[in-house]
Amino acid sequence: MNKQQLLSIAESKALRGIAILGIILHNYCHFLGFAVKENEYTFDAEKPMMMLDRLCSLNHYLFVHILSFFGHYGVPVFLFISGFGLVMKYEYKNKDKETRILPFVWYNYAKLLRLMFLGYIAFAVVSYLDPHGYHGYTVGRVVAQLFMYINILPDPDHIIKPGPYWYFGLTLQLYIVYRLLLYRRKSAYTIALIAVCWILQTVFSPEMYGSWDSLNRIRYNFIGGMLPFGMGMLYARHGRLLPKGAYAALAVVSAAVVFWGSFNFHSWLWVPAFIVIGAVSTFKLLPEWALKPCMWTGVISSSLFVVHPVLREIIIPMSRRGQVFTGIVVYLVASVLCAWLFMKLLKFIPKPKSI
């Protein structure tokens, strides 16, 4: 079997497309005061109960509640694709070439910095000009963000601005973990690391010996993202194509587990796995023509990720004043247009030399 069939280019783009739409809409809806908040870094049993209440009452803003509560699960999809892509590139495509550690880390850091830098500056300027914007930038925090170690600092909720840029530090950590511990090693190492990260999240939770603050802090780092990232690696190494019926069953079961698993702390830790399984299975069932809208969005997904926090700061007052859906539509359209322009602008910034 051709490994590329496990996740075709079209499917990969479409997955990135639907994932980024979930992320940017979540990051908008989350900041509307009435929206049901998500369990992303910590777990609050009241939040899924509130979500269930909105579903049962068919609340007027149900669309907003769903995106606020579930939209952040686009992140595990991106992590899965990253893990899959690293194995395909460095263990199959370049299997006869040894990739040294420092060039690998530098290349991937430079690639992420090239993408992040302009968006970070733009957000800082917009925040500075807004009397109600974030004014907590310090030299230490700026340096930590630019060198992507800010995730490991205390109180990440309040020092990483824009908030979504925590993903850059997380991605760099996972790249380093991959090259140091998992690169061309037996898959048992990957499975063991997933298990260790799961145990750490359990131990550092209030359920055992930690607190929500300790859980929040470790989940901002690779410990919280290892499950979907490792699944991507394992899928690239050992994945198999399945019959359509099997994909349909997996999609249905995954949807059920994602929903009901959100009500319990221990099952919630495994929800990202079923997000990934459900997403891949669903896209395996769709014909390529049905993937095209998501594929196009997937092409600009990196740019969308960079520009959307800036536009959110500018446009969200519209929704807060009562024009909720008008604001969402304006935000989406503006984000897509600015992402397209950002892609064009990136062409003038040199890419790091490939390794």
**How wide is the angle at C-alpha 102 spanned by C-alphas 198 and 222, nearest 5°?**
15
Taking 70 as the threshold, does the pLDDT of residue 1 lie above it?
no
293 domain residue, yes or no:
no
**89 vs 59: which has the higher pLDDT:** 89
**Tens digit of pLDDT for each residue in 268-301?**
999 999 999 999 999 999 998 889 999 999 999 9
- What's the whole-number mean pLDDT along residues 228-249? 98
246 domain residue, yes or no:
yes
pLDDT of residue 95: 78
Taking 80 as the threshold, does the pLDDT of residue 26 lie above it?
yes
- The Cα diameter of the chain in Å comes to 59
Taking 90 as the threshold, does the pLDDT of residue 267 lie above it?
yes
**How wide is the angle at C-alpha 315 spanned by C-alphas 27 and 305, nearest 5°?**
40
**Tens digit of pLDDT for each residue in 145-170?**
999 999 999 999 999 999 999 999 99
Q: How far apart are CA 317 and CA 327, in angstroms?
A: 8
φ, ψ of residue 352 to 5 degrees: the values are -65, 150
pTM of the shown model: 0.97
Taking 80 as the threshold, does the pLDDT of residue 144 lie above it?
yes
pLDDT of residue 176: 99
Q: How far apart are CA 255 and CA 273, in angstroms?
A: 11
**Tens digit of pLDDT for each residue in 40-54?**
999 999 999 999 999
305 domain residue, yes or no:
no
Taking 90 as the threshold, does the pLDDT of residue 355 lie above it?
no
Specify the amino acid at residue 158: H
Judged on CB neighbours under 10 Å (0-12, 13-18, 19+), 312 is buried
105 domain residue, yes or no:
yes
Q: Give the count of domains, the chain.
A: 1
**Tens digit of pLDDT for each residue in 57-86?**
988 999 999 999 999 999 999 999 999 999
The residue segments making up the domain with residue 122 are 3-271+310-346
Taking 90 as the threshold, does the pLDDT of residue 353 lie above it?
no
Q: How far apart are CA 349 and CA 298, in angstroms?
A: 21
Task: Tell the residue number behind the tokens 């909105």, with chain if given.
Answer: 54
pLDDT of residue 77: 99
289 domain residue, yes or no:
no
Calculated CA dihedral for residues 113, 115, 116, 122, nearest 10 degrees: 130
Taking 80 as the threshold, does the pLDDT of residue 96 lie above it?
no
DSSP string computed for 261-313? HTTSHHHHTTHHHHHHHHHHHHHHHS-HHHHHHHHHHHHTHHHHHHHHHHHHH
